[in-house]
């Protein structure tokens, strides 16, 4: 399916590695101007260079998405750099796994509150986008299939991802009259160099192999396969979709 995002302005919160980087690159290759943020300076600069090679306008900024003031500043800076915002992608995760204070704090601060704060900060620009061009304004949250089932290994992570799914529907209902669509993607197990599953392949082979066996397609997913769905959700092809959470998991949930 061809995507044309020429003239569109896309902000990816958490866009330097893995799924976020693939989403940002997908939009840039389709003609969009793109802003990304992340905490790690080295990965951020590498992603910025890759985006710039697509020939589009690029903005990149270091940002601790657990910091409310930093989120507001980043979104404002991105909007100024791109002359507006048409699409906001909330991709960052604190990867708070354990059922303890640290696990819950990380997940709530980054997975949940950064999503809420970035959405609120971007809203004035998204409203202008929606007023200027029907179906142009869109918010996409990146959740996880962990949201759909209990987890003894990652209780806090599963719970905050379930909160994202719930908020997706509520936010979609609140913003529908403004012409802003809100959807989410729930990836399954995605593997890329330096990512969580690449690490587990080396450090926890039993978990890796058990997860691999649970996927009917017989392999873990790639970030680009999630990015393709993000582009679809932001495109006119999904212009009649809002409040939906799409699982991109190779059938992993079917074997749950």
- The residues that are catalytic are 157
**Short-list 169, 177, 165, CA closest to 137:** 177
Backbone angles phi, psi at 184, to 5 degrees: -140, 160
**Distance (Å, whole) CA 161 – CA 103:** 13
Q: What is the DSSP letter of 221?
A: B
Length of the chain: 256
Q: Is the dihedral of CA 37, 138, 124, 6 positive or negative?
A: positive
Backbone angles phi, psi at 192, to 5 degrees: -155, 155
* DSSP per-residue letters across 40-75: -HHHHHHHHHHHHTTTS-EEEEE--TT-HHHHHHHH
Neighbours of 220 (CB within 10 A): 21
**Distance (Å, whole) CA 184 – CA 189:** 16
């Amino acid at each position: 399916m061809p995507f044309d995002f020429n003239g569109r302005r896309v902000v990816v919160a958490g866009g330097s590695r893995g799924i976020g980087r693939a989403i940002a690159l997908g939009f840039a290759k389709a003609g969009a101007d793109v802003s990304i943020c992340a905490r790690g300076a080295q990965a951020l600069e590498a992603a910025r260079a890759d985006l710039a090679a697509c020939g589009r306008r690029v903005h990149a900024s270091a940002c601790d998405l657990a910091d409310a003031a930093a989120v507001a500043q980043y979104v404002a800076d991105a909007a100024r750099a791109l002359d507006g915002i048409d699409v906001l992608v909330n991709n960052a995760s604190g990867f708070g796994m354990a059922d303890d204070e640290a696990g819950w704090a990380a997940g709530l601060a980054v997975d949940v509150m950064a999503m809420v704060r970035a959405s609120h900060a971007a809203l004035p620009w998204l409203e202008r986008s929606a007023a200027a061009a029907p179906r142009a304004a869109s918010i996409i949250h990146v959740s996880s299939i962990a949201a759909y089932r209990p987890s003894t290994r990652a209780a806090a992570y599963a719970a905050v991802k379930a909160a994202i799914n719930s908020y997706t529907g509520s936010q979609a209902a609140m913003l529908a009259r403004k012409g802003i669509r809100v959807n989410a993607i729930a990836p399954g197990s995605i593997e890329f160099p330096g990512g969580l599953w690449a690490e587990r392949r080396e450090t926890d082979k039993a978990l890796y192999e058990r997860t691999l066996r649970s996927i009917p397609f017989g392999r873990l997913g790639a970030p680009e396969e999630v990015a393709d769905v993000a582009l679809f959700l932001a495109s006119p092809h999904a212009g009649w979709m809002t409040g939906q959470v799409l699982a991109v998991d190779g059938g992993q949930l079917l074997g749950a």
